Every structure is written in C-alpha cells, then in structure tokens.
Amino acid sequence: MAGWPAETKYIGHSTLRIDAPEKVSGRARYSSDIQAEGWLYGMILRSKWPAAKITGINLDKALAVPGIKAAITVQDGERTVRFYGEELAAVAGMTKQACLDALRAIVVQAKALDFVVNETEGLKSDSAQVWEGSPNASNPKPREKGDVDTAFNECAAVSEGFYHTPVQIHNPMETAGSTISWTDDGITAWVSTQGIFGSRDALASSLKVDQDKVRVLCDFMGGGFGAKFPPILESVLAARLSKETNAPVRLMLTRFDQALAVGNRPSSFQKIKIGATADGMLHAFDLDNYGTGGIGSGGSSAGGGSGVMLAMPYIYEVPNSRVKQAVVNINAGAARAFRAPGHPPTSFGMESAMDDLAAKLGIDPVEFRLKNDPGEIRQREYKAGIERFGWKDKYKKPGSSPGVVKTGIGCAGAAWPAGGANRRTQGEAQINPDGTIEVRLGVQDLGTGTKTVIAVVAAEILGLKPEQISVKVGDTRFPPGPGSGGSTTCASISPTVYDVCSKALEQIQTQTGVADARGANWFDACKKLGVNPLVVHGQWQAGMSSDHACGVQFAEVDVDTETGLVTVKKICCVQDCGLIVNKNTLESQINGGIIMGMGYALYEERVMDDLSGVVLNPNFETYKVSGIADVPDIDILLINMPERGVIGIGEPATVPTAAAIGNAVFNAIGVRVGSLPITPAKVLAALGKVPAPTKS
C-alpha cells in the first residue's frame, strides 16, 4: 500500500504490550477501581417479573436505611416491564452493604402479566405477546434465487438437517458500569466502554447536558465483546444519583445483572436443506430459520446489531436458494452486537450442512470446500492449512475412528465483511523540546492492544523505539477516535497515527531546518524547538487500510463415546488480516477468538426457565466458559498481506471455530450433533445411548 514503508523495524514484528506492567502489577485503574473523592456506591433494583405492569415503586424505606444518600426510579408513573432483570430503580450509599439493604427495602407494586421465554413457544399464535398488539414473530417474505424446488430434484445428493445455536452472553470479566461525577461544572464519567464518544453522546442526550460539559474517560477497561455500547442505562442512573447526592457514584453491574440486561447473541433454529450435483457442485439451498433477540425488535432498550438474520448461504455461491428467517420476540433482555454479530451461528449452520452433504456425497470435506469456495484467499488458506494441519494423514471417514475414544477432524471458513475504518478518526501528538512525545487519541483499548499499536506505528514513522512513545487514550478531550466495534479500531488508528507522525516530522523539519529528524537526529532536532512544544494534529488517511478478512480453521477432537465428553486437542488457524502491525498482540486476539468460539461450541448457553421466566444461569458456575484446562494447542499461520493495508482481526478469528469443532465431532462419531453447545448429553443422545424419560 502506498503509505506503509516496505522495510519495517516494528510494524510486522512483535512489541511487548506497553500497558502490561500496569496490568500485572495491579496499578491499572479500571472504571470499577476509580476512587474519586467522596465516592458513593450505587446499585440497581431489577424486575423479578418477566412481564408486569408496575403500578408503584415506594422508595421511602430505602431512603431510611442508614448510609443511603439517594434513591431514584428509572421512570416515574406506571410502566410495563418486559423481561426479568429490567431496571426499576437505583440507590446510592456509603457502602455496598447499605445499598444491598436499601434495594431489599424498596416496595414494588406490580401486576404480573403473561410472558414467554422460549423461542419455539413464542412462535405459536396463542403465545403470550411480548409487545401488546404485535405478534411475537416477524413474517418476512422468503428471499429466493433461481428455482430451488426444481433444483433439488436435479441434485445427486441432498442433506436435510436441523442446526441450533443458543443465546450467548458476552460476560466480559469486568461487568458494565461506570464511576460518574455530575456537578455544576458538568459530568466526568469513567465508563467501562467500547466507545467513549458514544457514551458521551448517550449521557449528554439522556441527561440533557451540553456535550461540551460531558467528559468520558476510559484508560483501562475489562473487555466488551460488543456488550459495552449504548444504551448505557446503568451509567445514566449513576449520573442521576451523582447529581442528587452531589458525590461521585460508582455503579457496576453485578455478574448476575450482566446476564440479564446488557445484551446477548441471538439464538438460531436453522432448518437447512442443501443439495449438490454429482460433480460435487452446490446446486440448491433452502434455509428456514428463526431466532430471538429478546424483546429487541422494536424495543426501547435494544442495543444495535441484533443479528438474528443470518447471511445465508454463507461464503458459498449457490445458484438456487430460498432463505426465510423470522425474528421471534421473547420476554428476555435485548440482544446487542456480540463479536462478529450473526457470523458464528451462520458459519455453524452452513459449514455443518456442508459436511453433512459431503458425507452423503462420499467426498472429503476439504475437497468439497475447495470445489465450491469462491474466495481466492480462503482457497489458499485451506491449501496451506491442509499441509500444516496434516489433514490428509489425519482424515478418516466419519465414524471410522476405532475404539471408545474416537478422534475426528473438521474445518470451516470465515468471510468477515467489515473491518475497514472510521474515516473521521483524528489524533494529535505533542512533541517536547527534550524529545519526549505524547500521542493522544480519543479511542479505547479493550485489551486488544490498541495502545501498543499506536506506539508501534509512531515509533516506526519517527525512527524511535516504541517505549519512547507515551500513549494516551480514553479521553473525550482528545481528538475523536472510533468506537471499538466491527474490528475497525486498528484500521482507524494506524493510518491516523501515521498521518500525525508524518506531519510531525514535516513540521519539525520545517521549523528547525533539520533535513531528517528521524531516529538518531530526533533529540537534536527537538532541542531546536526552543521552549514551546510542538502539537501536531492529523487524521485518518485513505489508501492505508481496507476491509474483509477471511480465515480458515481446522479442529481435531477426541470424543469419549461412553461419556460423551468432547476434548479439543488442536486448532490450526490460517488467518489473513492485511498488514500485520503488531504480531504478538495480534496472536493473542486470535487465541482469544478461538477460545471464545470453543466456548460457544461446547459450553455456553443462556438458560431461561419457562415456568418462572428467569435466567437460570446468571453466573460463571452454570454459564460455562472455556477454562485453562479446556484450551487446546492453538497453531496459527498468519498470512501477511501488506498490500491490503490494515484490517481488523477481533471478529474474523471467532467465526468458524464452533463450526470446525462441530464438524470434527461429526467426523469422529459419524453422527451429527447439530445443537450447540455440544455437551456430553447431546453427544450421547446422538449416539442413541440416552434412555427415554420414564413414564410416570
């Protein structure tokens, strides 16, 4: 690409994460660690009804609890709540204990309403309605191409299957929330957010405060995965409490709350019929899918990116297809964008169907993909992966592995269309006469390594070392950066920092007369600045980044056919993401995407109770995520494509993992477990080993 240097010292190599020392020493302060002068503890009261008309909320007893300084309702007057956990009121007090006591002292008058928390039930015409007067399910017209019914008759092999993915909870290690101070001077908010400017906008508009009086800070934050975008009702409540008490209020969600109200990945119930001609070419595809985004569709508390709709057929071009998808509302928290919205369930359905069809055709699944995958990059990635993973040596026909513990392999691909950049990203650098430099961007680092990328690019352009660059992010007083979503951050900030530093060099050189101020000349050149530092502003430049990342993954599993336990032995990932900026933080991102994808494949599932309407597993005990003992050997082959400029990686890497694992399980045991998570219970059921319920 035009801008990026061909020979690099830091770009494309590995620089240690620059904020690692602060994190490992406990010095890093997250929103939940801020101890502003006189701060109070805040807590939210949530609806214990999955649906109810709230007729009154009495805060008197709560206000009388010793240590409590304020109590507010979310909304005055009568209102209808539509999911277990919907916010009703909030309190602020001197201690956590006072707040806990206060919540229990709030008296809520409510009339319970009918509710539904099951997607399949919600489809029925006699189901309780989530939104009065509206059917729970949308009824869209199918999207058709060619003549799918005729086409199926022309197929040499047809596979019909049912594939299901559950609602997944983001569950970052730091829950959502903030520490907020609202005084006459304005609002200062330390928000655990994926977008400081989005948060600022949400606070300003919700609280009717001028934007220039709202400052959002986010230096360290404990993960997001999509959950930490507006609406940020918990922060709005914290701000209101702060105003009322004239003190800063720290209000973080509990882990229990985190599963109820700040988003999730929609479920999918996919009936897929897929057919190919005798030469192994895909010919017909029919999808009937529904899923839930909670109350999301049309709901007032929905976050963006509901993602119920699947981009089908995924990756492969099928000449004849019919796709019909419905969104089903249920009385549960609204969906929000969750790491590659829509793609993991899409990949799981499509790639599982591909392997099921390949088995019917008697063809190797990788060969089948090479025949049908139109993506040039993925074609090469598959071929490289086949070698590296040892596919041909490992491959056995489905179910032919001998013994009680069967091994199997599977693969799947991704086609992530986004990435790209926020073109309005800006940045600035302050260069001091002593040669120190501070680069400032209004962006946030979710743990992805954003701060380090800034240091790496700056160092590269200026001929300095990354440790010589002081990086400051996470302040809305800095030039605006992107919200961290869509895997766009790296592609937004890298060209911006390039521009800032290029302009800085130009200006130093012009002002000081030093021809080349880089590297060894830097300090002498800066000295010539005199007393005043140089502050240089820059912005995102076109031509240095692009979008679309692919990636393919191969999985090797063991399945104990007596106990149903699945063990992932190895994942091999062949991944492109354009220009590699910082290798070691990039690899960590890929590891993370794979491990999260494995959790989706084997452990994660939000469980709703049909009778009571509650979330049954709002905790880490029974909402299970991948642990250190579950993690497989992960082997990554990075495909360097500097000619494509900077592209993001956060999401592509998590897309095909569950599909690859599901296919590996199918290959091992010869029968399909089409429902995630693939638990021992489901494996045993697929093997026909589970006795039917006893007739009572």
Partner 1 sequence: MKEQDKDGLIGSFSRRTFLKSLGTTAVTVAAARTQAVAAELEKANAEKVIGPGAVPVTLRVNGDTLKLMLEPRVTLLDALRNYSSLTGSKEGCDRATCGACTVMVDDVPIYSCQKLAIEMQGKNITTVEGLAKSGTLSNVQQAFVDRDALMCGYCTPGFVMSVTALLRKNPHPTMDDVKHACAGNICRCGTQPRVMEAAMQAAGVLPKTAGLSKTEIIDYGRLAS
Partner 2 sequence: MKAFEYATALSTDSAQQLAADNGQYLAGGNDLLGVLKEYLIEAKILVNIKSLLGLNKIETGKTWKIGALVTVAEIENSAEIKKTFPGLQAAASEVGSQQIRNVATVGGNLSQHSRCWYFRHRDTVCLKKHGDLCYARNGENRYHSLFTGKSNTCISPVVSNLATAFASLDTTVVVLREGKETPMTITELYQTAFDDPYAHNSLKPGDLILRVEIPTTHTSSSYMQVSDKHAFDWALVSCAAAGKVSGGKISHPRVALGCISPMPHQVKAANDFLDGKTLDEATVSQVADMILQGAEILEHNGYKVPIAHALIRRTLLALKG
Ranges within 643-682 binding partner 1 (CB under 8 A): 643
Among partner 2, partner 1, none, residue 252 binds (CB under 5-8 Å by kind)? partner 1
Question: What letter represents residue 633's amino acid?
Answer: D
Does 545 sit near partner 1 (CB under 8 A)? no
Work out which of 602, 655, 661, 668 binds partner 2, going by CB under 8 A.
602
The residues that bridge with 178 in the sheet, in sequence order, are: 191, 251
**Helix crossing, 343-361 with 657-669: angle to 10°?**
30
Mark residues 34-53: x for contact with partner 2 by CB under 8 A, - for none: --------------x-----
User: For residue 518, how many other CB atoms are within 10 A of its CB?
Assistant: 17
Does 603 sit near partner 2 (CB under 8 A)? yes
- Strand duo 40-46 + 249-252: pairing: parallel
Structure tokens at 295: 């109350």
CA distance from start to end of the chain: 71
Burial group, residue 694, by CB count within 10 angstroms (0-12, 13-18, 19+): exposed
Which residues, 396 to 455, sit near partner 1 by CB under 8 A? 446-449
What are the phi and psi torsion angles at 654 (to 5°)? -100, -5
Which residues, 241 to 260, sit near partner 1 by CB under 8 A? 252, 254-255
Work out which of 42, 166, 195, 223 binds partner 1, going by CB under 8 A.
223
Residue count, binding to partner 1 (CB under 8 A): 84
Distance in angstroms (rounded) separating the CA atoms of residues 351 and 567: 20
Which residues, 628 to 647, sit near partner 2 by CB under 8 A? 628-630
Structure tokens at 344: 């993991």
Mark residues 105-144: x for contact with partner 1 by CB under 8 A, - for none: ----------------------------------------
- Tell me the three-class secondary structure of 360-388, residue by residue: HHCCCHHHHHHHHCCCHHHHHHHHHHHHH
Work out which of 55, 95, 150, 400 binds partner 1, going by CB under 8 A.
95
Among partner 1, partner 2, none, residue 680 binds (CB under 5-8 Å by kind)? partner 2
Mark residues 371-390: x for contact with partner 1 by CB under 8 A, - for none: -----xx-xxx-xx------
Binding segment (CB under 8 A) for partner 2, from list 167-175, 177-185, 294-302, 556-564: 556-564
Closest CA to 659 of 315, 332, 290, 417: 315
Among partner 2, partner 1, none, residue 167 binds (CB under 5-8 Å by kind)? none
Which residues, 153 to 172, sit near partner 1 by CB under 8 A? 171-172
Binding segment (CB under 8 A) for partner 2, from list 315-323, 447-455, 583-591, 688-696: 688-696
Q: What secondary structure letter does DSSP report for 578?
A: B
Angle at CA of residue 449, ends 651 and 29, nearest 5°: 115
Cβ of residue 48: shortest distance to partner 2, in angstroms? 5
Work out which of 76, 132, 185, 621 binds partner 2, going by CB under 8 A.
621
Cβ of residue 100: shortest distance to partner 2, in angstroms? 7
Q: What secondary structure letter does DSSP report for 564?
A: -
Work out which of 622, 633, 640, 643 binds partner 2, going by CB under 8 A.
622
Work out which of 79, 271, 396, 583 binds partner 1, going by CB under 8 A.
583
Among partner 2, partner 1, none, residue 48 binds (CB under 5-8 Å by kind)? partner 2
Work out which of 11, 12, 332, 351 binds partner 1, going by CB under 8 A.
12
Mention every residue, 6+ apart, whose C-beta is less than 8 A from residue 579: 1, 4, 11, 12, 640, 641, 642, 644, 645, 646, 647
Work out which of 301, 585, 667, 679 binds partner 1, going by CB under 8 A.
585
Work out which of 515, 531, 611, 629 binds partner 1, going by CB under 8 A.
629
Among partner 2, partner 1, none, residue 84 binds (CB under 5-8 Å by kind)? partner 2
Mention every residue, 6+ apart, whose C-beta is less than 8 A from residue 222: 30, 32, 172, 173, 174, 192, 447
Which residues, 566 to 585, sit near partner 2 by CB under 8 A? 567
Is 490 within 8 Å of 453 (Cβ atoms)?
A: yes
Q: Among residues 48 and 383, whose Cβ is nearest to partner 2?
A: 48
Work out which of 27, 616, 633, 643 binds partner 2, going by CB under 8 A.
616
Cβ of residue 408: shortest distance to partner 2, in angstroms? 18
Report the SS3 class of residue 405: strand
Does 634 sit near partner 1 (CB under 8 A)? yes
Among partner 2, partner 1, none, residue 12 binds (CB under 5-8 Å by kind)? partner 1
Distance in angstroms (rounded) separating the CA atoms of residues 192 and 177: 6
Q: Among residues 419 and 564, whose Cβ is nearest to partner 2?
A: 564
Q: In sequence order, what DSSP letters do the residues of 424-488 get, joined into one string? A: T-EEEEEE-TTS-EEEEEB---SSS-HHHHHHHHHHHHHT--GGGEEEEE-BTTSPB---S-TT-
Cβ of residue 397: shortest distance to partner 2, in angstroms? 25
Helix (H) or strand (E) holding 282: strand 282-291
* Count of CA atoms in the C-beta half-sphere (13 A) of 491: 29
Does 331 sit near partner 2 (CB under 8 A)? no
Cβ of residue 354: shortest distance to partner 2, in angstroms? 27
Cβ of residue 494: shortest distance to partner 2, in angstroms? 38
Among partner 2, partner 1, none, residue 637 binds (CB under 5-8 Å by kind)? partner 1
Q: Among residues 466 and 677, whose Cβ is nearest to partner 2?
A: 677
Among partner 1, partner 2, none, residue 515 binds (CB under 5-8 Å by kind)? none
Q: In sequence order, what DSSP letters do the residues of 52-118 get, joined into one string? A: EEEEEEE-HHHHTSTTEEEEEESSSS-EEE-STT-EEEEEEESSHHHHHHHHHH-EEEEEE------
Does 27 sit near partner 1 (CB under 8 A)? yes
Is 269 within 8 Å of 137 (Cβ atoms)?
A: no
Distance in angstroms (rounded) separating the CA atoms of residues 109 and 54: 6
User: For residue 198, how many other CB atoms are within 10 A of its CB?
Assistant: 22
Cβ of residue 636: shortest distance to partner 1, in angstroms? 5
Cβ of residue 203: shortest distance to partner 1, in angstroms? 23
Cβ of residue 574: shortest distance to partner 1, in angstroms? 9
Distance in angstroms (rounded) separating the CA atoms of residues 496 and 485: 17
Which residues, 223 to 242, sit near partner 2 by CB under 8 A? none
Work out which of 9, 154, 624, 635 binds partner 2, going by CB under 8 A.
624
Mark residues 56-75: x for contact with partner 1 by CB under 8 A, - for none: ----------xx--------
Binding segment (CB under 8 A) for partner 2, from list 9-17, 470-478, 499-507, 558-566: 558-566
Does 7 sit near partner 1 (CB under 8 A)? no
Cβ of residue 595: shortest distance to partner 1, in angstroms? 4
Can you list the alpha helix ranges (DSSP code H) found in 189-314? 196-207, 233-245, 255-261
Distance in angstroms (rounded) separating the CA atoms of residues 460 and 442: 21
Question: What letter represents residue 40's amino acid?
Answer: L
Binding site for partner 2 (CB under 8 A): 48, 84, 97, 100-101, 104, 562-565, 567, 602-603, 607, 609-612, 614, 616-617, 621-622, 624, 626-630, 677, 679-681, 684-685, 689-694, 696
